[in-house]
Amino acid sequence: MRIVVPFSADRPKTRLGKVLTPDERREFAAAMLADVLAALGGVDRDLDVTVLATGPVEVEASVVVDDRPLTTAVNDRLDTAPTAVVMADLALATPDALEALLDSDADLAIAAGLGGGTNAFLARDPAFHVDYHGASYRDHLAIAREEGISVREVDSRRLAVDIDEPADLTEVLLHGDGAARDWLVDAGFELDVGGGRVEAVRE
């Protein structure tokens, strides 16, 4: 099965700019990508994984460089089915969570991200196409409806949590067990168990 992992090689994770420098964001993004690739590597299936990067990146997978906007670059790869697209910042992804997506027989299996995004999908019908602008999850359900293709919504916290904003770092510290969590700990982040939700703070 073909798997595409889009990755912003140039200026990744701008919304983490309040807590990480540009160099740190690049390192942390690379660590998350490594975690996603490791989770895919643990899936009990034959997967053909390609990192779809906006620029050159050194990683243990085949890389295709395509500097066009995300929607255009991904749509160009959906004419072969089945194809799955898994975002590179799903630092909590596990083989089990990915298998729940990849085992689906629906024309479209799709996992929502927090805040209305689409974090992962498997399209078994080439009629499906993406539009990542705005609340893409609802748009993708609408596209599937328009195309008359069957949908399975995959309910997974581990696929829902993409790491975009400082508050998301908490989830990596709480539930991650790979390179991204190690990177945060090395960079001085730790959990602050105060009132309400736990927070990630830097020493």
Which amino acid is residue 13, in one-letter code?
K
Q: Closest Cα to residue 86, out of 62, 52, 126?
A: 52
Q: Report yes or no: 127 and 174 within 8 Å, Cβ to Cβ.
A: no
Residue linked to tokens 């020493």: 203
Write out the two tokens for 189: 């982040």
Task: Tell me the H-state helices in the chain.
Answer: 22-41, 70-75, 95-102, 136-147, 157-160, 168-175, 179-186
Instruction: Specify the residue, 78 or 102, whose C-beta has the smaller distance to a second copy.
Output: 102
Query: How far is residue 168's CA from residue 172's CA, in Å, rounded to a whole number?
Result: 7
Window of 51-59, 101-109, 162-170, 176-184 that interacts with a second copy by CB under 8 A? 162-170
Instruction: Specify the residue, 34 or 97, whose C-beta has the smaller distance to a second copy.
Output: 97
The yes or no reply on residue 165 touching a second copy (CB under 8 A) is yes
Site string for a second copy, 6-45 (x = CB under 8 A): ---------x------------------------------
Count interface residues toward a second copy (CB under 8 A): 34
The yes or no reply on residue 145 touching a second copy (CB under 8 A) is no
The yes or no reply on residue 64 touching a second copy (CB under 8 A) is no
Site of interaction with a second copy (CB under 8 A): 15, 94, 96-97, 100, 111-112, 114-117, 134-135, 137-138, 155-161, 164-165, 170-171, 174-175, 191, 193, 196-199
